[in-house]
Structure 1
Amino acid sequence: MDPLEKISTPSSDPFRGFIAVEVEAEYGLLLESALRSTLSDCLRPQWREIPRHNYHLTLVFLGNLPPGLLHNLATAMLSCRDHHEFSLQPQRIDFLNRRRGDLIVALFGREQLNRLEDLQRQLVASLDPATYQPTGKPFRPHITLARRKRSARQKIADELSRQLPAGLRLPPLPVRSVALFESQLTPDGSIYHPLLRVPLTHA
C-alpha cells in the first residue's frame, strides 16, 4: 500500500488547512444520534449541528498555507506511519469550555489518550517551522458536534449545562490514519476536503 494517499489538490492559493483523525461514516452516525438524544426538542433549534461528514479530531491546526508547502506537510505526515492503529473511547458529551458554552463536543477519558498524544507530538515535531509554529496551547482532543447559534442567548447554554455532561455508551473510535484537510469557509459553515491521507501501521 502507498504510504501516502493523494486525494485532491487545494481549491485556492493560499488554502486553510489542518491535520486530523477522520471519523468514519458509520461512527459519525453513532455520534450524531448521541448528540440528538442529548439535546431536548426545545433546545435543539438554538444549536447548529455539525454535519456528521465534517466530524474529525484535530491534531494540528495549520491556518492559511500556500500549496507550495504540500510537500513539507506530506513529509511530516509520513513520520506517523510507523504508529500502530489504536482506538479511543469517547467518555461524554460536554461543553469544550463551560464558561463560554458555545461548543458541544465529544470528550475522551484522560487515562486513555497516551497514544493519541504521542502521535500528535510526533507530528508537531516533524513539521517544518515554515509550515507550523506551535501556539503553546495545550492539546485537548475533542470532536465538535454542535455550535451555539449567534442569535441564541447565553441562558440557552446555561439550561443545557444542567443536562451535561452526558455519558456515552459507544464502541471505541478507531484511529487508522491521519489526514490533511482543506477548510473552506462558507456562509452556511465550513466545508472540509481531505487532501492527503497516511494510514497507520495495521495492528
Structure 2
Amino acid sequence: MRLFYAIFLPEDVRKALVEAQGLVARYRGWKEVPPHQLHLTLLFLGERPAGELEDLAALGHRLGRLQPPFTARIRGTGYFPNEGTPRVWFAKAEGEGLVALAEGLRQEVLGLLGPEALEAGGDKPFKPHITLARRKAPAPRVPPVVFGLEWPVTEFALVRSELRPRGPVYTILERFPLRGEHGREQEESLGERPEDH
C-alpha cells in the first residue's frame, strides 16, 4: 500500500485555502486539491507491504510521545518548480516543530526499514507545504497570495493513498497525538534510575 505521514488542517485553515484555490479554478489547466484532502506531508513512504503497518504505527506513537505540540503558520504561495513551467501550486508552511517532526520521522524510518524505504522520495530535502492545485494542461501562473494563517498542531497521521482515475483517495490509518511533556517526564524518570551493574 502507498503510505505517507501527514498533518491535516483544521476547518478554518482549510476554508481560507479553498478561497485561494478560487484563483486557479478559472483556468482549465489547473486541478485543485479537494478541501478534505488538503494536508502537509511529513514523510512519503511510497509502496510498503501491509506487514509493516504495525511497526510504522508504533513508530508514530513513539515519536508523538516525544514531540510537543507546536504552532504552524502559512504566509504565502509558491510553485514547484519555481522556474520554468510549474507543475504544482502550493501554500508555504513554517513552524519550528515541522522540521523536528519530519526529521524525527525520517530518522526513525531509516532505523526501522533502512535507506531503501526512503527511495520513493523521502530522501529529498523537507520543504513544508500544502499542495493547492496541480497543473494538468497549459495554464498561466496566478499572482502570489499572502496569508496570515496559523494553527496549533496537536497530532499527525499515517495515511494510505489509493490512486484512482479521478484522483487519489486518502484514508487515515492511525492518528498520533503530540504529547511532548509526557515524553520528557518519562525520559527524566528513566534518567533518575540507578544504573544496573
1:29 and 2:15 correspond: yes
Residue in 1 that maps onto 2:44: 61
The correspondence of residues 117-156 of structure 1 with structure 2, limited to 5 A, is: 117-127=99-109, 128-130=112-114, 132-133=117-118, 135-149=122-136, 152-153=137-138, 156=139
TM-score (ref. length: structure 2)? 0.80
Higher helix share: 2
The answer to whether the 8 A contact 1:90-1:173 is kept is no
TM-score (norm 1): 0.78
1:54 Cα shift? 0.6
Which residues in structure 2 correspond to 1:41-120 (within 5 Å)?
41=26, 43=27, 45-81=28-64, 82-98=66-82, 99-108=84-93, 112-120=94-102
Q: Number of matched residues?
A: 174
| 1:202 Cα deviation from its structure 2 partner | 7.6
Give the Cα separation in 2 of the matches to 1:74 and 1:24: 22
Which AA in structure 2 matches 1:129? Answer: L
Shift, 1:91, TM fit: 1.0
Structure 2: segments with no counterpart, 5+ residues:
182-197
Alpha-carbon distance between aligned partners in 2 of 1:51 and 1:195, rounded to the nearest angstrom? 19
SS where residue 118 of structure 2 aligns? coil
How many Å apart are 1:89 and its aligned residue?
1.3
Whether the 8 Å CA contact 1:25–1:53 is kept in 2: the answer is no
Q: Is it true that 1:191 corresponds to 2:169 in the alignment?
A: yes
Q: 2 CA distance for matches of 1:138 and 1:102?
A: 18
Which residue identity is paired with 2:5? I
Distance 1:56 1:40 in 2: 19
**Same amino acid, percent of matched pairs:** 31
Cα distance in structure 2, aligned partners of 1:190 and 1:88: 25
